[in-house]
Structure 1
């Protein structure tokens, strides 16, 4: 694969913006997967695996910040960590097998997830999370299958798992919002490890693209933290950008662009 200066610029820009989006809103993987697939030209399965490189580094940076604050409590997290890791490994395995057998099906699956993500973003789940304070933690028989499903989703397609995880944590556990954010990062790291390993084992990672994204993602995350402090309306701008990116991803992964192009060509 030939990496031109323009490909590097696209990767750096996509990673930087994804780092900002992940820090201020979430769902930045939508941008990186789209960039890897469209600009770099990676098959959807490899784009899905390569995306985990930046996610791993960025999650480590975020988790380190929470641990340094000394205000987090991971008591009892094992109850949800174990099913999350198991689900992640299974989800990554299914993603690899689907990608091997028919890359189009994986592309359509990601497109379907993008529609779901658009629904979540338009309905502002974080506002719902902040208002959902009167809740009781569910017992282990309920927590296990719920986080098994969350882990499967994260292993299969990383995009949007942070938002989904935060909503689930604030719905079925007793963590407050601050702790839920820290636990979300820990679970994201834990589910990324087995999934990432499976993608590497199956040759589904393009390291040059992944490491390029990871560097700019970390820089974007650091810049976003400062930006959020100085600009209280930053989330509104990021949300608007995110909606646009999701719509582009839907058009790309559901094959809408290809379909329209074929119709135009047939009419000419």
Structure 2
């Protein structure tokens, strides 16, 4: 019984983290911060945690996309975003495996400043985040070229470390691409699923996955995704609440990754 209790606690932590991450990843992003923290609680090394997290991300993004997709967000219509994102993901995953345990201070600061930029974009023109549209959006010219280049970088970031990539995608698709929130969420889930396929294969090949923990996280993340999809598709003010959640997540991420919380504790 004494040996069983720690195992139950560890799995309970994974289940709760996975469920909440599934909700956050579907309606906004950055839920991987929770799942990676839960794996860290079990003393899983950073490299293994990075790979283990990909199993749940794959399953939950596929489940979420299948529930939110429409005729305007199919694979054929988005090939121009899928290809650069996938290319970037392969490069990013290779780099993550090569480095093993990354320089966490450098990585955290980079994520923090990225989230600060994303917060600035989210706070601009609030009405853009609240609009709804059933019409497919056609992106052309320089905006399309810029999005292609940006999503090579986004894919590389997502292949390297999953945490926060959904937030970055969602902000770029709405603030820069001009998509409405629901469509952007569906595209975000599709691209996150696709960019994680090559990353997942590489992590499996390099034996960088703790399978027992991965399956527990995956199941709970899918359940969280179903709850989130129901909210997004039925709640009349879903876009409003998703934007507020996104701002909250960005603020928490900025405080955490830039070390502001640690600095404040040291001061007082």
Name the counterpart of 1:116. 113
Q: After the TM superposition, list the runs of 4 or more consecutive aligned residues in structure 1 that deviate by more than 6 angstroms.
A: none
CA shift in 2, pair 1:237/1:210, >3 Å:
same
Q: Which runs of 5+ in 1 are unaligned?
A: 261-268
Q: Determine the C-alpha separation between the residues in 2 that align with 1:53 and 1:250.
A: 28
Q: Which runs of 5+ in 2 are unaligned?
A: 132-137
Q: Quote the offset at 1:204 in angstroms.
A: 1.1
CA shift in 2, pair 1:7/1:117, >3 Å:
farther
Name the counterpart of 1:56. 58
| Contact 2:59/2:218 (8 A) holds in 1 | yes
TM-score, reference length from structure 1: 0.76
Q: Determine the C-alpha separation between the residues in 2 that align with 1:128 and 1:215.
A: 37
| Contact 1:84/1:152 (8 A) holds in 2 | yes
Q: Determine the C-alpha separation between the residues in 2 that align with 1:238 and 1:167.
A: 9
Q: Determine the C-alpha separation between the residues in 2 that align with 1:167 and 1:230.
A: 21
CA shift in 2, pair 1:28/1:113, >3 Å:
farther
TM-score, reference length from structure 2: 0.76
CA shift in 2, pair 1:224/1:231, >3 Å:
farther
The RMSD of aligned alpha carbons is 3.6
| Contact 1:15/1:32 (8 A) holds in 2 | yes
Task: Give CA-to-partner distance per residue, 1:207-238, whole Å, 9 cap, x none.
Answer: 11111111111112222344565695855568
Task: Give CA-to-partner distance per residue, 1:6-31, whole Å, 9 cap, x none.
Answer: 11011111111111212333210111
Among candidates 186, 200, 207, match of residue 204 of structure 2? 200
Name the counterpart of 1:95. 96
Task: Give the aligned length.
Answer: 250
Pair 1:27-2:30 in alignment: yes
